[in-house]
Amino acid sequence: MTDTKIRGIYEGESISQALRAGRESSRIFISYGAGIEVYDEGLAESVTRYHPSYNPLVDDDPLLEFGATDGMLPGKTAEQTMQLRDVVMRYSLPHRNYYWNHLAQGIRDMAKIKLTREDLIARQVGPAIVYMLNDFHLEQFAQLSLAVHQVLSGLDDFRGKSGNQRFPFDPEWKILRLMEENLSRSAILMTCSSMQLRLERALQRITISLNAIKKVYGREGLDALSSMESTRDSVRSEFGQEEGPVELGKLLARPDYAARAFDQEVRARYVEAHVRDK
């Protein structure tokens, strides 16, 4: 059987992975963290790279609780079905490198970590001292951010969201990359704190989206989805368009992020950069 639909279901080949075949992956970090092997790649590639393989002949379908029958979602194409399966596997399966047993657990564990100046590495660069987060925590943030970005994007794709309707988690990794090079230790720690909160906010969105899809867009699911998406499209579309410091300023200008800012002088500097850029 060579039909794409049959091949995708019975030979375990992700259709979305096949569509992305040949795409080159680049590392997320481009400065002092460039040695960390976390790649800016597609959802299907990461499912293959980081999680146990799925064999439809012996494994329960991850989409059973979403209403899948004989490997297919009712009313959905093989590609759409595989797309959601990739999302669910990325979200629910353990990470090969032991960063989490379940993405939600990984995010909650990350939120509990209190990073301090002892977690930073100092580098002498000419006359200046440049700081970066230690490799372990830098990779931990990168792994979580990549997975969250992929799951959010996959859910938006599955639901046909486009443009301002999509949730921009950290476009071009601008905020994440602030952790690998900064002249200010306080700025790096505040960036980490902001990213911890952003990961938690993203988890809330993912959970609501998946629960709504489980209900096959029934009334209760749609109501929850509508409440979650109350953020104006114009606000979402503004995020990710500027340089990293300006994007961090956008977050720190929000009350929930401001409440976590332990250095108000540094926070004010980033918020000022955001306001000045308007």
Query: What 3-state DSSP class applies to 102?
Result: coil
4 touches 15 (CB < 8 A):
yes
246 touches 271 (CB < 8 A):
no
Put residue 78 in one of left, alpha, beta given phi > 0 → left and psi -120 to 50 → alpha: alpha
Cα separation, 166 vs 202, in Å, equals: 12
Cα separation, 229 vs 52, in Å, equals: 32
pLDDT of 4 reads 33
Residues 161-199 as b/e (b if ≥16 CB within 10 A, e otherwise) read eeeeebbbbbeebbbbbbbbbbeebbbbbbbbbbbbbbb
pLDDT of 277 reads 59
pLDDT of 238 reads 60
Cα separation, 204 vs 3, in Å, equals: 38
pLDDT of 7 reads 28
Write the CA distances from 167 to 70, 229, 275, integer angstroms. 32, 9, 22
Query: What 3-state DSSP class applies to 101?
Result: coil
**pLDDT digit string (tens) for the chain, length 278 residues:** 333 332 233 334 444 444 444 345 799 999 999 999 999 999 999 999 999 999 988 999 999 888 888 888 888 899 999 999 999 999 999 999 999 999 999 999 999 999 999 999 999 998 999 999 999 999 999 999 999 999 999 999 998 888 788 888 999 999 999 999 999 999 999 999 999 999 999 999 999 999 988 886 333 444 545 555 555 444 444 666 678 888 888 888 888 888 777 777 777 878 776 666 55
The pTM score is: 0.80
pLDDT of 216 reads 63
73 touches 84 (CB < 8 A):
yes
DSSP state of 166: S
For residue 30, give its domain range.
4-277
pLDDT of 18 reads 43
Q: Are strands 39-40 and 128-133 parallel, antiparallel or unpaired?
A: unpaired
Count of domains observed in the chain:
1
